[in-house]
Structure 1
Amino acid sequence: MKIMLIGLISDTHIPDRAKEIPQKVIETFNDVDLILHAGDLTSMEVIEKLEEIAPTMAIQGNMDRIKGIDLPKARVIEAEDLKIGLIHGEVYPRADTQQLLYLARQLGVDILVSGHSHQPKIEQIEGILLLNPGSPIVPRLADRTVMLLEINKKEVDVEIIKIGAPVCSALDFDKYKRD
């Protein structure tokens, strides 16, 4: 069995928030075997571009429904004897671990990849690995990111890859001090 390398991406919002996938994402995913997109593509051109790099699977996010993009709401992929669930992750409160754990159990997966929060997250809870690659375009109070998921038999390694700086940077508080 060879090592499987999977690129994880979510919330690209193209062309609504950016014209194209950042070049650093393409470079990061250059050697992956598979790409999983956790929704909010907002254009099928995103899948076409990612397919030029590696086979790509995507699910529908809340913004994709608005745009009329018809994709499954969830998928389960088997990779190296592990089951990986792919959802957008529209739970309340946003990115709630317990809600995501419940969805992972419903899908019967070892790893759950979700998006929606636009914030990268790696969390192991009750034997299930919860992953959120964040967003390479429009992060929320985080860096622009994607993830690499490496599976070697049942050994898993995850890396958050910084694609760029946060969209909003901290204010220069000295400039706004009151006298």
Structure 2
Amino acid sequence: MKVIVLSDTHMPRKAKALPKILQKDLEQSDLIIHAGDFQSLDSYYELKSFGKLVGVKGNVDTLELQALLEEKQLLTLNGISIGVVHGHGSKLTTEKRAIAAFEGIKTECIIFGHSHIPILKYVDGTLLFNPGSPTDKRRQQSYSYGILTLNSEIHAEHVFFDHKE
């Protein structure tokens, strides 16, 4: 199972269209996970046009998206438990808020966004995965998104690229 993982697309403010490299992977995916900050309902529906989409609300999403999306999602894919949350808030770091969102819940992977910083690491046996942003790299060297390959195990990787066209 090929899962494309995104966050912080901030469309149309940071881009008018999804980068072509991302569009190609979206077309070949089994599932798309978006960890919040679509920004507009149009960008939500654009992603949905590529296939099955699971998303959570972020702190800059419109009122329509806030009403449509949950704060967090807990998925089981190929027997693997995956938590999805944006990670915004006022206390702790983004990473610690993401972990706290699933406290007491057994997850093998937590996907989060908000910081625009790509992260792929294990903490207490749980994979923490922030895909970065495909449209707003902020102070990062490259734009990015993630790919999860789910068989009996999780394989996570980032796709880094220099131009968002």
Bigger radius of gyration among the two:
1
**Counterparts of 1:20 and 1:93 in 2: how far apart (Å)?**
33
**Counterparts of 2:113 and 2:20 in 1: how far apart (Å)?**
21
Q: TM-score, normalised by structure 2?
A: 0.88
Indicate the SS of the match to 1:90: coil
In structure 1, what is the equivalent of residue 45 of structure 2? 48
Matched, 1:152 2:154: no
In structure 1, what is the equivalent of residue 159 of structure 2? 161
Displacement after TM superposition at 1:21 (Å) = 1.3
Matched, 1:28 2:25: yes
Displacement after TM superposition at 1:99 (Å) = 3.6
**Counterparts of 1:54 and 1:120 in 2: how far apart (Å)?**
24
**Is the contact between residue 101 and residue 128 of structure 1 (CA under 8 Å) also seen in structure 2?**
no
Indicate the SS of the match to 2:27: coil
In structure 1, what is the equivalent of residue 73 of structure 2? 75
Instruction: Indicate which of 2, 5, 10 corresponds to 1:5.
Output: 2
Q: Deviations over 1:66-116 (max 9, x none)?
A: x212211111111011111110011544433x4433323344321110000
Unpaired stretches in structure 2, ≥5 consecutive residues? none
Q: Deviations over 1:49-71 (max 9, x none)?
A: 2222220111100001xx21221
**Counterparts of 1:165 and 1:105 in 2: how far apart (Å)?**
37
**Counterparts of 2:163 and 2:121 in 1: how far apart (Å)?**
23
In structure 1, what is the equivalent of residue 13 of structure 2? 16
Amino acid at match of 1:62: N
In structure 2, what is the equivalent of residue 128 of structure 1? 126
Deviates more, 1:157-166 or 1:144-153: 157-166
State the number of aligned residues. Answer: 159
Amino acid at match of 2:143: R
Among all aligned residue pairs of Structure 1 and Structure 2, give the percentage whose two residues are the same amino acid: 28
Unpaired stretches in structure 1, ≥5 consecutive residues? 167-179
In structure 2, what is the equivalent of residue 176 of structure 1? none
**Counterparts of 2:25 and 2:160 in 1: how far apart (Å)?**
10
In structure 2, what is the equivalent of residue 102 of structure 1? 100
What is the RMSD computed on CA atoms of the aligned residues?
1.7
Change (3 A) 1:23 1:102: same
**Counterparts of 2:93 and 2:8 in 1: how far apart (Å)?**
14
Amino acid at match of 1:150: T
Q: TM-score, normalised by structure 1?
A: 0.82
Amino acid at match of 1:20: A
